[in-house]
Structure 1
Amino acid sequence: MDDKPQKILIYRIGSLGDTIVALPVFNKVREVFPDADVTLLTNRPIVSKAPALESVLGHHYYYDRVINYPSGTRNLRVLYDVWKEIRAQKIDIAVNLATTRILKDLRTTKLGVLRDNLFFRSAGIKKLVGFPTLREDYELTADHDTGDFEWEAKRLARRLLPLGAIDLQSDHAWDLHFGVEEIASANDALSGCDPGKPVIAASVGTKRQSNDWEQDNWTTFFKRLKLLHPGWQLVMVGSHEEAERSAKCIEAWGGAGINLCGQTSPRISGAVLSRARIFVGHDSGPMHLAAATGVPIVAIYSARNFPRQWYPRDNGNKIIYHKTDCAGCGLEMCIVQKKKCILSITVDEVIGAVAETLNNTRAKYGY
């Protein structure tokens, strides 16, 4: 773009996984506008274990200030205050990275997008980038390359084509730009590890009951994996609420293990994960974080969403997904079907996926 504005607003809501999926576009914005003054408009997470977007992006590269608002608010006074704060910044361009909310029908969905469009224009912003324009921006559609629903990272990159093409396979697109102090903090967090022995990283937390593979499976998995890799070290990451579950996994591991749940910020956790040989976990924020750093993933998915839309960056990953007849339910809690999708995944299957991923890694990198 020839006319490079000096003041940009980036609109993105969500927490850890949502932020990582949008990372290539955040990097593209900074690449195109390296000297711009950037305001980040985002929501405050509803649940405590969901980290705020700015805690994932850090405070030294992607933006200069944050405007927060409560998730899903319809309070006119709150919205007016947000509008007034945006208007006061005299923004030149708004970059919309919000995932289009699929409402009851196409017309209603378009009206929601139009409302957002008018909100930003009334705040004095003349140039808007990334707002939905095509039918596939408003509705989930099949990707011609895969036959599955379009990957969210690809969908965002397509919407931001006015800024230039984004290579989603490049390391640069997923660079979290860790600072020197963050790397030093990660080194401190791993000080109890033997640097001569490989690390397997894992996270057993999830915000949704429907995505939980459950403790008995995890305990059996770690007991058996330790027998196969007796010299390896286990590092668990996640929120404070997941510390107790992770402690049980380390106990099942029965060997060298570090429980960092609630001990490190998302970015320090990311720097820690970058040292791992492999990551194993649920469909979760830490899984996306590990994938962004280039670590091969073994991910255990429920079928609450259809496959691929919310997959992580591909580093030779192994995604374990059983497509049941109730796939795409979108349930937060699964009671009637008793989580038959994710609980049909066996420990043997996950053990095999780890072995396959490590073999592929050795073939590719020689270790």
Structure 2
Amino acid sequence: MGQPLNILNIGIVGCGNIIAQYLSTLPSLDTLRLVAVADLDLSRAEAVAADLPGVRALSVQDLMDDDEVQLVLNLTIPAAHAQVALQAIAAGKSVYGEKPLAATAEEAAGVLAAAAAAGLTVGCAPDTVLGTGTQTARRAIDDGLIGRPISATATMMCPGHERWHPNPDFYYVPGGGPLLDMGPYYVSALVTLLGPVKSVIGAASHTRDSRTIGSGPRAGEEIPVSTDTHVSGVLIHESGALSTVIMSFDAVATQSANIEIHGETGSLIVPDPNHFAGDVKLRRLGDDSWETLPVSGGYVAGARGIGLHDLAATPAGQEPRAGGALAFHALEVMESVLRSAHTGQLVDISSTCPRPEAVPLTVLSHAEALTHSG
């Protein structure tokens, strides 16, 4: 996105499962330099740093106090997202977090307000929306291949993350659940494709009071469930398009496309928004079959962490594509779907955000080193 690019020094807080996916990407991006890692359990940070020459293992506070760190990559659990982000901002550092931006929209608003007051930048996953899958679909919509968009469906059905995750507790407490865990991928993609949402209607169920961990040292342990595990919602976009969203930790499987977009003159099948790539298929009005569209937008061979590159390459004063405004809007949308489910009423969305700028087809200098991780 133009040369030369400044190098942004990154410090990671949180050395859990997700860090491996970021570490497979960050060394390949010449706009970023990882300088330190931290965790409440210092031994975990030390184990990560041992395999990364030049990267220091620090306590969380020492990382925040380190002048070399310019941006904190927040990979903590959702309940700690706001606290760590505010700590980073107070230390004069920009922050990029795993999704969701915070456990609640109220907490997220505090993060954005603090960053704005300090003149710092907030970015947030998912950055999968910057990959060739979602961006090729975006290009097709922008080029008018389906005419005026009318509706969309977004479906994520699985039996629950406790089957594979060794410490799945946070998926089953407020701030977790299928909507707040997986919904950010889908809602962020829908906003990228169809624009912001003005109101929502929701319904939800909570089918079991406990789950059994299926792997790791805690296999067989029962954990409590205190959040909705099957959620349906209708998102009413400012454009007038209607998106129907189904997110479940209670189902076995589905053959539904992850996302479908329907317009007056065509329909699109959009690949899994939890991945960066995948085939985009178009069926035009009057055709009797689907065609696979050529890749026409997005970061080629993108992987987790590409949002940090995009942030580093964003001109000062401009909102990153995977920025705080989109993350906050998506969080408010999801929170409002749950509120509607519990009240039985339509809920208006108070926030909005610009439809993020499209990503032109972009091959990075080290694209061959990146993976299509999800």
TM-score grouping bracket, smaller chain normalisation: 0.3 to 0.5
Of structures 1 and 2, the one scoring higher in RCO (CA 8 A, sep 6+) is 2
For normalisation by structure 1, the TM-score amounts to 0.33
Higher helix share: 1
Larger radius of gyration: 1
For normalisation by structure 2, the TM-score amounts to 0.33
